[in-house]
């Protein structure tokens, strides 16, 4: 890395911080605010749309890095083209609300764009061998990218949580990518972390602004693109990315499955994620967000084991995700009872 590359990555932080402040002024003056309701985890009207700052800082950064010749063209096109689509539909949704179908169509378009430019998902690294997927891999990749876009939206429900997930997973993923020889991917990961870090200063509990769908969807899409790219480059396996993002993936997926089984409208706002139960049980947004950071650091250690012993890649990933599922279900069972008792005592 030369001085200009380092400068551009570090610049993502102050640029995002500055743009977030400007977006906060815009949101307050134009009524782009989040009004709390019975399903919210906050009680005060807050401006939203701060994710515009993350997207702008990151996209400007990758454009500059591409101009320096340190990022591959296909990765830049995948991140930029689909990223603009996801951020754009998210911004429209933040301002006036869009139907779930409209959002889903755009998300699938962005996912297909990324999968096309990154060459699909012909194989999956599982440790001692590679699992051939062929055309099915491309279909699976489109679904996976679209799901990661949405799950980041679902998990962005309390102050700081999506920001801390991005900063920690991005830094860790960048380290593993660099060790694997994918320096260009590492630079993109670190740039995303710094661009999100500038916003996180404003979003740290108690938040002064929310990122909104424009930010959460963009972050999910960016991680999906980088994970797919590293898998196809045979550098950092997709399974390591799944473990690094395991807190969000497990909580969102398990909650979705439960809501679908119960016949609920899965796309509607609710408060049945594990992190939401923790807040309802009395923990502060800051405590839950720090807990996610601690869990991510632990997942980083597990990722280290996966990197050092690639022949056990699948087995370690299964154990790690299994532990996360157990932890998630334990939290939901315990805190759901606390919340239910609290509601009953209040009604009495």
User: pLDDT by residue (tens digit) across 236-280?
Assistant: 999 999 999 999 999 999 999 998 888 887 777 788 999 999 999
Alpha-carbon span 150 to 220, nearest angstrom:
7
Q: Count structural domains, the chain.
A: 1
pLDDT at 337: 72
What would the two tokens of residue 192 be?
A: 């995303």
- Cα 21 to chain centroid distance, Å, stands at 22
User: pLDDT by residue (tens digit) across 7-33?
Assistant: 999 999 999 999 999 999 999 999 999
Which SS3 state, helix, strand or coil, does residue 34 take?
strand
Nearest by Cα to 166 from 265, 264, 58, 79: 58
Alpha-carbon span 150 to 240, nearest angstrom:
20
- Whether the CB-CB separation of 54 and 196 falls below 8 Å is answered with yes
Other C-beta atoms lying within 10 Å of the C-beta of residue 314? 19
- Whether the CB-CB separation of 276 and 157 falls below 8 Å is answered with yes
- Whether the CB-CB separation of 228 and 146 falls below 8 Å is answered with no
Report the DSSP beta bridge partners of residue 46: 34
Nearest by Cα to 256 from 158, 154, 165: 154
Average pLDDT over residues 70-78: 96
User: pLDDT by residue (tens digit) across 159-211?
Assistant: 999 999 999 999 999 999 999 999 999 999 999 999 999 999 999 999 999 99
User: pLDDT by residue (tens digit) across 296-325?
Assistant: 999 999 999 999 999 999 999 999 999 999
- Whether the CB-CB separation of 75 and 188 falls below 8 Å is answered with yes
The secondary structure element, H or E, covering residue 38 is: none
Quote the mean pLDDT of the chain: 93
Q: Is the pLDDT of residue 95 over 50?
A: yes
What would the two tokens of residue 262 be?
A: 């119960």
Q: Is the pLDDT of residue 38 over 70?
A: no
**Could you list the residue range(s) of the whole structural domain that residue 339 is in?**
3-347
Residue holding tokens 């990722």?
Answer: 303
Alpha-carbon span 305 to 322, nearest angstrom:
16
**308 to 16, 108, 287: CA distances (angstroms):** 35, 35, 32
Full DSSP string of 294-341: HHHHHHHHHHHHHHH-GGGHHHHHHHHHHHHHHHHHHHHHHHHHHHHH
Alpha-carbon span 254 to 199, nearest angstrom:
28
129: DSSP letter? S
Q: Which residues of 146-164 are buried (b: 16+ CB within 10 A; e: fewer)?
A: bbbbbbbbbbbbbbbbbbb
Report the DSSP beta bridge partners of residue 34: 46
């Amino acid at each position: 890395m030369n001085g200009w590359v380092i400068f551009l990555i570090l610049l993502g932080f102050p640029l995002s911080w500055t743009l977030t402040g400007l977006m906060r002024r815009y949101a307050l003056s134009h009524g782009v605010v989040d009004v709390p309701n019975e399903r919210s985890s906050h009680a005060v009207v807050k401006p939203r749309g701060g994710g515009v700052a993350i997207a702008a800082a990151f996209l400007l950064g990758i454009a500059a890095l591409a101009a320096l010749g340190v990022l591959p063209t296909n990765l830049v096109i995948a991140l930029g083209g689909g990223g603009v689509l996801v951020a754009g539909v998210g911004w429209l949704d933040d301002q006036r609300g869009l139907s779930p179908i409209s959002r889903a169509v755009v998300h699938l378009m962005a996912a297909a764009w990324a999968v096309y430019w990154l060459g699909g998902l012909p194989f999956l690294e599982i440790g001692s061998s590679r699992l051939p997927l062929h055309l099915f891999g491309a279909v699976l990749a489109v679904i996976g990218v679209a799901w990661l876009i949405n799950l980041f939206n679902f998990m962005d429900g309390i102050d700081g949580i999506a920001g801390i997930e991005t900063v920690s997973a991005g830094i860790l993923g960048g380290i593993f990518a660099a060790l694997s020889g994918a320096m260009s991917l590492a630079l993109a990961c670190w740039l995303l972390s710094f661009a999100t870090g500038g916003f996180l200063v404003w979003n740290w509990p108690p938040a002064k602004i929310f990122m909104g769908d424009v930010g959460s969807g963009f972050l999910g899409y960016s991680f999906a693109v980088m994970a797919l790219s590293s898998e196809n480059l045979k550098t950092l396996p997709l399974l390591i990315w799944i473990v690094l993002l395991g807190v969000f993936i497990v909580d969102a997926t398990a909650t979705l499955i439960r809501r679908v089984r119960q016949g609920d409208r899965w796309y509607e706002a609710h408060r049945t994620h594990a992190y939401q139960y923790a807040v309802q049980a009395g923990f502060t947004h800051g405590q839950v967000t720090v807990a996610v950071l601690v869990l991510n650091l632990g997942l980083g250690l597990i990722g280290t084991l996966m990197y050092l012993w690639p022949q056990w890649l699948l087995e370690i990933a299964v154990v790690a995700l299994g532990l996360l599922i157990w932890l998630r279900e334990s939290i939901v069972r315990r805190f759901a009872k606390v919340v239910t008792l609290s509601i009953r005592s209040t009604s009495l």
